[in-house]
Chain A
Amino acid sequence: MSGPAETAGEPMTAEKSETVGKPVAAGPAAGRRGALVRAVTAHRGRLAVAALLAVACYLPFQLVPFHVFQLTMVLVYAVALLGLNLLVGHAGQISLGHGAFFAVGAYGTAIMIDRWDAPHLATLPVAAAAAFALGLAFGLPAVRLHGLYLALVTLAIAVFLVPLLKRFESVTGGSMGLTLGKPAPPAWTGLAEDQWLYFLALAVAVVTFLLARGLLRSRVGRALHAVRDDEAAAEVMGVRLSFHKTLAFAWSAMFAGAAGSVYTWVIGFVSPDSFSVTLSITLLAGIVVGGLGSLAGPLLGGLFVMFVPSISQDVNEAAPGVVFGLLIIAVMYVAPAGLAGLAARLARSTMRILRKG
């Protein structure tokens, strides 16, 4: 994502360049196409994002509510994976307990709505902040532990969360969970409930993606990359390892918490069984398949987590788990850098063909 044009990042750019390109092209069609290709190449990242956003805003008016709901869940998972990507893809730490932070966000929102009738939207920052604080606390072991040992500690978080939620029955509703109302669309929007939920999730997703992007481009992002690539070298360069590792955990937990909060809005029901260890492992599989260390990875991972289980059930009704596993193996074999890496490779070869043609 290194666009040379600092001034304008809008979809307009492409059209402007095209009109500018036309008079320059002395020759006939070939020259004009060359300019167009150059413009598209230079701004392809932005074009893609703008096109994606436009499609994302258009889709809920075309699809049946069921598909809108599925896309909403994709966005929820994408936000959670964004946090995991920060930790695993950019900081090089491992977490098998991401689902626990997701649950903290979900339960935080649920409890606030259930106990104090808090307005839905107001619960998100609080839930995210709570997850951030918890992430900070659980980030402490990350300072001293590496690799498998860290994986075990984070796994423990995910494992003990379910009995913990059942224990404090008066607050969490115990194993029965909590049933909550969904945010009603304001009358002026004229939207149906599923569309409103979708746009809420989309707004949260856009904000968190911008936040993550800003974070990665700042000193923090560079420090995280340095930690991932070589801890000793990073320390020599003046990166405070403990500070950045702990903070990476906290940021990633915060994104998970935000995703959990939106999850509660969308599903309207939380129970301990929704946040078992399987969720954490599915999320980790999702981000690895989606593509570690890339911004498109979480979105592709979200699509994978949401759609592949039901696709695999259509393939073989008797053993959806087996098909799901085989599909993961297949993806990793074809695209070792995840789906995002595969997409980038495809885009590059398309560009090459365009340029040659």
Chain B
Amino acid sequence: MRLSAIGRTAVTAGLLLAAAACGGREDPGAGAGATTAAGGCQGQQTTGITDTGIKLGGIYPLSGPASAYGAIPKGIKAYFDYVNAEQNGIGGRKVEFVVRDDGYQPPKAVEEARRLVEQEQVFALFQTLGTPSTTATWDYAGQRKVPQVFVATGASKWGTDTRHPWTIGWQPNYVSEARVYAQYLKQERPDAKVAVLYQNDDFGKDLLGGFRKAIEGSGITVVAEQSYEVSDPSVDPQMRNLAQSGADVLLNVTTPRFGSQALAADARNTKWNPLHIVNNVAASITVLRPVGFENVQGVVSATYYKDPVDPQWENDPEMTLYRAKLKQYAPDADPSVPYHAFGWAVASSFHKTMEAAKCPTREGLRDSMRNLSGVEVGMLLPGVTMSTGPDDGFPIESMRLMRFKGERWELFGEVIDTRREFGPLTAD
């Protein structure tokens, strides 16, 4: 029997060599349907785009632990359906948006990215969600020279990294957000003692690291910090520890479920009444409601796009349009879910970026997404615009502070442009 095993290995090796001798594929880089442009944009890639259509692919966790984010592509689809039906697409090109599920697992995201690029022949990857999934795919996007536009994660590396020109973020990165809170504290409480509750992953650490850096040289100090895992049942023990620190500011860096818990724990503890800053990720009204509005008065946060449940946007033209079109093109989607509005906002950002591209090619889109100047998007707050440049890979870097009053968030102060206040963000 041993002989046959050796023999079989030999056959395999032989076949391998024979196959290798035949040589590899003729053109391993380009797929069967790869095309290039002529004229002024000569030689640039036009895969997935024609005079009448443009095909985009997105990867989201439709299943698994992060499936709440699966609402984002619904908002995007509704926007593109509306643009296709009523505005003849983007510059005459009807948008086809293919959504794939990665279950928030990086290896699955790699597979789906390959499927979209090689099999579906998409023009660009329009959003991958989550830092792990995006990190697993951006090398591939770079190798294939496929734009990976407006990824849905706030990690700062999408903008600071210089080796991946084909990938770009969209939302204000976590470091910028931390800078906004630091700026606010410097003005209001120059000698604040801060206690920090943060999620023990890239998101929590990015924000906390940014905050530490932004308060350097000021009178503000971090006196206590507690982390939690996404798998923890509750953050109550962490909150008890933080309460003992005697801090007068609490920075709450959490995702929605834990944000609620921390706000509730703060409300229950009548002996400790710090200024509570809750980060944007957990600042939705849907997070605050279960805690009880009377318990979250005076809580501070920052934002950059319009919250659909905020009554001050009731008669806002973009919000009215959003509500009407979502009802028309995605009747089962609830317009008050902020993820739908997020999808709408990012889709209209893509619309403007694509329109601004000089060439209708992948290279054209890459250059366009890195050459935005003061682009206004209806769903963003007034004063918040998209700007990028050769040395600026962050489309949105401005936010506005808000304070909870009555039953809604009230914006206050000016729009804070973190790039102007703190200078550009660099890799470390």
Contacts and interface: CB of A to CB of B under 8 A. Distances in A.
Given A69-B114, A179-B135, 9 more contacts: A50-B8, A65-B31, A166-B200, A176-B135, A206-B9, A267-B136, A273-B105, A276-B105, A320-B101
A175 B15 contact: no
A271 B9 contact: no
Nearest to B19: A57
B5 interface: yes
A170 interface: no
Contacts of A217: 1
Interface of B (DSSP majority class): helix
B136 A166 contact: no
Interface of B: 1, 3-5, 7-9, 11-12, 15-16, 19-20, 22-25, 28, 31-32, 62-65, 99-101, 103-108, 110-112, 114-115, 117-119, 131-132, 135-136, 139, 200-202, 205, 229, 231
A251 B93 CA distance: 57
A274 B132 contact: yes
A15 interface: no
A193 B110 CA distance: 15
B179 to A, nearest CB: 21
A180 to B, nearest CB: 10
Interface stretch (A4-12, A23-31, A111-119): A4-12
Nearest to B133: A273
Contact of A53 (B11, B115, B205): B11
B107 A73 contact: yes
Contact of B24 (A54, A192, A203): A192
Nearest to A199: B16
A176 B131 contact: yes
Choose among A66, A195, A203 the residue with the greatest number of B CB atoms under 10 Å from its CB: A66
A269 B136 contact: yes
29 contacts: A6-B1, A9-B1, A9-B4, A10-B4, A10-B7, A54-B15, A57-B19, A61-B19, A66-B114, A66-B115, A174-B202, A176-B202, A177-B106, A177-B132, A192-B25, A192-B28, A194-B28, A195-B24, A199-B16, A210-B9, A213-B5, A263-B107, A267-B106, A269-B106, A269-B139, A274-B105, A276-B65, A313-B101, A320-B63
A271 to B, nearest CB: 5
Nearest to A206: B12
Interface string A288-325: 00000000000000000000011001000111110000
Interface in A196-228: 199, 203, 206-207, 210, 213-214, 217
Given A66-B118, A176-B135, A49 B100 contact: no
Contact of B231 (A46, A163, A213): A163
B111 A70 contact: yes
A175 B100 contact: no
Contacts of B101: 309, 313, 317, 320
A199 to B, nearest CB: 6
Contacts of B4: 3, 6, 8-10, 46
Contact of B16 (A9, A57, A65, A70): A57
Given A58-B19, A69-B114, A317-B99, A175 B200 contact: yes
B98 to A, nearest CB: 10
Interface residues of A, number: 62
Contacts of B108: 309
Contact of B31 (A49, A64, A174, A267): A64
A189 interface: yes
Contacts of B118: 64-66
Nearest to A49: B8
Contacts of A203: 12, 16
A9 B229 CA distance: 54
Contacts of A70: 111
Given A175-B202, A271-B132, A190 B63 contact: no
A190 B4 CA distance: 30
Interface of A: 3, 6-11, 46, 49-50, 53-54, 57-58, 61, 64-66, 69-70, 73, 159, 162-163, 166, 174-177, 179, 189-195, 199, 203, 206-207, 210, 213-214, 217, 263, 267-269, 271, 273-274, 276, 278, 309-310, 313, 317-321
B111 A163 contact: no
Which among B31, B106, B115 has the highest number of chain A CB atoms within 10 Å? Answer: B106
Contacts of B9: 206-207, 210
Best-buried of A194, A214, A274 by chain B (most CB within 10 Å): A274
Given A69-B111, A179-B139, A7 B3 contact: yes
A57 B201 contact: no
A103 to B, nearest CB: 12
A9 B7 contact: yes
B169 to A, nearest CB: 15
A191 B20 contact: yes
A109 B247 CA distance: 44
> A-B pairs with the 10 shortest C-beta distances?
A9-B4, A192-B28, A175-B201, A66-B118, A66-B114, A57-B15, A269-B136, A271-B132, A321-B63, A190-B24
Given A69-B114, A192-B25, A269-B135, A166 B201 contact: yes
Contacts of B202: 174-176
A189 B104 CA distance: 36
Contacts of A210: 5, 8-9
Contacts of A191: 20, 24
Given A175-B201, A271-B135, A320-B62, A190 B119 contact: no
A199 B1 CA distance: 25
Contacts of B103: 278, 309
Given A174-B205, A192-B24, A269-B135, A274 B107 contact: yes
B113 to A, nearest CB: 9
Contacts of B15: 53-54, 57
A190 B7 contact: no
B106 A274 contact: yes
A65 B19 contact: no
B144 to A, nearest CB: 9
Nearest to A192: B28
A70 B144 CA distance: 18
A69 B424 CA distance: 39
B328 to A, nearest CB: 20
Given A64-B119, A190-B24, A166 B229 contact: yes
